[in-house]
Structure 1
Amino acid sequence: MSKNTCLITGGAGFIGCALSRELAGAFDELVVVDNLHPQIHADHRRPDALAPHAALHVADVTEAGTWDRLFADFDPTVVIHLAAETGTGQSLTEATRHAAVNVVGTAQLLDGLARHAMAPKRFVLSSSRAVYGEGAWRNAEGGLVYPGQRTRSQLEAGQWDFPGLSPRPFSAESTRPSPISVYGATKLAQEHLMSAWSHAFGSEVVTLRLQNVYGPGQSLTNSYTGILPLFARIAKAGQSIPLYEDGCMLRDFVFIDDVARALAKVALCGAPSAQPYDIGSGRAATIGETARIIAARYNAPAPHVCGKYRHGDVRHASSEIEQTRADLGWEPQVDLQEGLDRLCRWIDERM
Structure 2
Amino acid sequence: MRNVLITGGAGFIGSNLALKLLAKGYQVSILDNLSKQIHGDNPDETSPLYRSVKDKTNFVLGSVTSRDDWEKALDGQDAVIHLAAETGTGQSMYEIEKYVQSNIGGTALLLDILTNCKHTVKRVVVAESRAIYGEGKYVCPRCGDVYPMERKDEDMRKGDFECHCPKCGGPVELVATTEDSAIHPSSVYGVAKQVQGQLVHLVCPTIGVESVSFRYQNVYGPGQSLSNPYTGILSIFSTRIKNGNGINIFEDGKESRDFVYIDDVVDATIRGLETPEASGYVFNVGTGVATDVLTVANTLCEKYGVKVPIIVSGNYRLGDIRHNYADISLARKILGFEPKWSFDKGIEQFANWVNGQTIQEDKYEASIAEMKAKGLYK
TM range (shorter): over 0.9
- Using the alignment, how far apart are the partners of 1:45 and 1:292 within structure 2? 32
Give the superposition deviation at 1:180.
1.0
1:288 aligns with 2:305: no
SS in 2 for 1:23: helix
TM-score between both structures, scaled by the size of structure 1: 0.93
Give the superposition deviation at 1:239.
4.2
Matches within 5 A, 1:29-44: 29-44=27-42
Matches within 5 A, 1:104-253: 104-118=105-119, 120-141=121-142, 143-163=144-164, 164-172=171-179, 174-253=180-259
Contact 2:5 2:73 in 1 (8 A): no
Q: Deviations over 1:127-174 (max 9, x none)?
A: 1001101133221226122221112222222221124122222110x3
Contact 1:148 1:178 in 2 (8 A): yes
When the two chains are superposed, the root-mean-square deviation of aligned CA atoms in Å is: 1.8
Contact 2:7 2:83 in 1 (8 A): yes
**Aligned with 2:13 (options 12, 15, 31):** 15
- Using the alignment, how far apart are the partners of 2:98 and 2:159 within structure 1? 31
Q: Structure 1's 25 and 328: CA in aligned 2 closer, same or farther, altered over 3 A?
A: same
Aligned partner of 1:94 in structure 2 is 95
Give the superposition deviation at 1:250.
1.1
Contact 1:24 1:51 in 2 (8 A): no
Give the superposition deviation at 1:53.
2.4
Between Structure 1 and Structure 2, the one with more helix by share is: 2
Aligned partner of 1:59 in structure 2 is 62
Q: Deviations over 1:99-141 (max 9, x none)?
A: 0000000011112223322252111111100110113322122
Give the superposition deviation at 1:28.
5.0
Letter paired with 2:80? V
Contact 1:135 1:178 in 2 (8 A): no
Letter paired with 1:307? G
Instruction: Indicate the larger mover: 231-240 or 128-137.
Output: 231-240
Contact 1:210 1:279 in 2 (8 A): yes
Q: Alignment length, in residue pairs?
A: 346
- Using the alignment, how far apart are the partners of 1:70 and 1:81 within structure 2? 12
1:69 aligns with 2:72: yes
Letter paired with 1:274? G
- Using the alignment, how far apart are the partners of 1:286 and 1:28 within structure 2? 38
- Using the alignment, how far apart are the partners of 1:192 and 1:275 within structure 2? 11
TM-score between both structures, scaled by the size of structure 2: 0.87
Give the superposition deviation at 1:276.
0.9
Listed as ranges, the gaps of 5+ residues in structure 1 are: none
Contact 1:295 1:302 in 2 (8 A): no
Contact 2:127 2:197 in 1 (8 A): no
**Aligned with 1:310 (options 297, 302, 317):** 317
Contact 1:92 1:182 in 2 (8 A): yes
- Using the alignment, how far apart are the partners of 1:223 and 1:150 within structure 2? 24
Q: Once the two structures are aligned, what percentage of the paired residues are identical? A: 36
